[in-house]
Amino acid sequence: MLIDEFPVQIVGQDTIKINLEPRCDRPIEALRSLSTKNYAPKSTNAILLNNCTSGFSPCNIPSISVRTHFESLNCSNNSSLSCFSRADSANGFFDYNMANISQCKYLLSSISAESFTGSAVSLEIQIMELRWWLQGDCRCSEDAICTQVESPAGSGFRCHCRDGLAGDGYLAGVGCRKGCNPAKYLTGRCGAGARPAVFLGGIVVAAVGVGLGLVCCLARRNSISKAKSFRKLHRAEAADINIPHLSLQGNRKGHE
């Protein structure tokens, strides 16, 4: 499953993770194409740029200060590798104007950062995280919680069921139900109505454009996560990180 040229790794309740294999000559316009009326990059991404007229390093990953040095095996010796990250965006989305990415010709890759309780931080190399939403005013079922989203494209929303209830939370879907465990819910044995995978698949096709049901993806999250070699770092370990190089053949390199 792809968003533009990028493989989709996970579709979550409010985010989508895509894979950005390092590439020296990927046009910077590819970054702008990831900001649409239904999804856009989060501000917690550190964007790796190539052939810039001015550098952006060092790169400040959210919650930790990381000094990074990027070397690409096949990039031109005359190219300039840079990094941009700013987590304090007002709406939580990547600010294209602040980044002034027009100074760079190519999008090399991305690093996604996620904060946990305390000082722990997860860094995912070659990953970009997008926030997604549906356009318009809230259209959630009675027992669902509506989360309003102020996106670069305007107002939107997402729905999810209250604790103890199962369902997709959307008014046009199966809503929220009591007394149904996840296994029965996912197989459509919770009473009348469309199966969640069908409705949510339609939502994502129409709104996100990746043709993947949210519930199905959430059910597969653990198996997908185990299959991916994401780099998990703690603050104490990431005070001074040096990334020697990113392989253009797609092989991920470990941290020193």
pLDDT digits (tens, 9 = 90+) for 19-29: 999 888 899 99
Amino acid at residue number 227: A
Residue 165: which pLDDT band, with cuts at 50, 70 and 90? Answer: very high
pTM, two decimals, is: 0.67
Q: Which residues contact 189 (CB under 8 A, 6 or more apart)?
A: none
Q: How distant, in Å, are the alpha carbons of 128, 158, 211 from that of 102?
A: 19, 32, 31
| pLDDT tens per residue across span 19-71 | 999 888 899 999 989 999 999 999 888 888 888 876 565 555 554 444 444 45
